[in-house]
C-alpha cells in the first residue's frame, strides 16, 4: 500500500500553533488583552458620573463663606480662622506697622502684584491694595506659604510679619514676600464688611 504525503504546509488559520513562551504573542493573545483593556476603560467611564457627583459644584464653592467677629481685636493682635479648609490670618496692625508697610517701595518687593481677589487685574502690591478697604489697619490673607504650602508663624521674621521656618520665607506686615524662596505674596481672599465688627470671608 502506498501513502502520499501532503505537499502543502498546514493552514495556520485553521490549525493555530501554540504560543512560544519565549516568542511573540499570537493574535489570540492580543485580542484577549485588548478586550480586557476596553472592558476596564468602560468600567471606569460607567462609574465616573457617580464619583463626580460627590464633588461640590462651582456654585456651591462660590457661596462658601464665613462671618468673623473682629470686635475683640486690638492693635498688635491677630487671630486665625478656617475658611474652605485653609487658615486665614486676620491682623489688627499698629500704626507703626502700617507706616512701615506703606513706606516700602515697590522696587524692594519680590512680588509686585497685590494678589488681592477684591481688586481687578494685576494691581500693584501697595499696602493700600493689601489692606481691608475702609479699615486699613486690618489685613486678612490666606496663611499658606506660597513656596511649598507650609503655615507661616505670625509676628516673626525680619519685618515682624510672618515667617515660614520650613525654608526661610519672610513676609512683611502686609503679607508681602520679602526674602526666601516663596515666589508670591500671601493671597487675599474675597472680603467684605458686614458691619464695624464683622467681616465676611468668601
C-alpha cell at 167: 525654608
91 and 154 Cβ atoms separated by less than 8 Å: yes
Specify the DSSP element, H or E, that contains 140. Answer: strand 138-142
198 and 67 Cβ atoms separated by less than 8 Å: yes
User: What is the greatest pairwise CA distance in the chain?
Assistant: 120
d(CA 50, CA 198): 39
Residue 167 annotated to the active site? yes
- Rounded to a whole number of angstroms, the CA Rg of the chain reads 32
Local structure of 48: helix, strand or coil:
helix
- Cα→Cα distances 105→9, 23, 125, 142, Å: 89, 72, 10, 23
Catalytic residue, candidates 38, 167, 168, 197: 167
Which amino acids are annotated catalytic? 167
Amino acid at each position: 500500500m502506498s501513502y502520499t504525503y501532503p505537499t502543502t504546509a498546514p493552514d495556520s488559520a485553521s490549525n493555530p500553533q501554540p504560543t512560544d513562551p519565549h516568542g511573540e504573542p499570537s493574535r489570540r493573545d492580543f485580542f484577549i488583552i485588548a478586550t480586557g483593556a476596553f472592558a476596564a476603560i468602560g468600567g471606569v467611564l460607567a462609574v465616573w458620573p457617580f464619583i463626580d457627583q460627590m464633588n461640590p459644584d462651582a456654585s456651591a464653592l462660590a457661596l462658601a463663606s464665613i462671618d468673623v467677629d473682629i470686635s475683640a481685636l486690638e492693635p498688635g493682635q491677630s487671630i486665625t480662622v478656617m475658611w474652605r479648609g485653609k487658615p486665614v490670618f486676620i491682623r489688627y496692625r499698629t500704626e507703626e506697622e502700617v507706616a512701615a508697610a506703606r513706606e516700602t517701595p515697590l522696587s524692594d518687593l519680590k512680588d509686585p502684584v497685590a494678589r488681592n481677589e477684591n481688586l481687578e487685574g494685576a494691581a500693584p502690591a501697595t499696602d493700600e491694595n493689601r489692606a481691608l478697604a475702609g479699615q486699613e489697619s486690618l489685613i486678612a490673607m490666606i496663611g499658606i506659604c506660597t513656596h511649598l504650602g507650609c503655615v507661616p508663624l505670625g509676628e516673626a521674621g525680619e519685618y515682624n510679619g510672618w515667617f515660614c521656618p520650613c525654608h526661610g520665607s519672610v513676609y512683611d506686615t502686609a503679607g508681602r514676600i520679602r526674602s526666601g524662596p516663596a515666589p508670591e505674596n500671601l493671597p487675599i481672599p474675597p472680603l467684605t464688611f458686614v458691619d464695624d465688627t464683622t467681616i465676611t470671608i468668601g
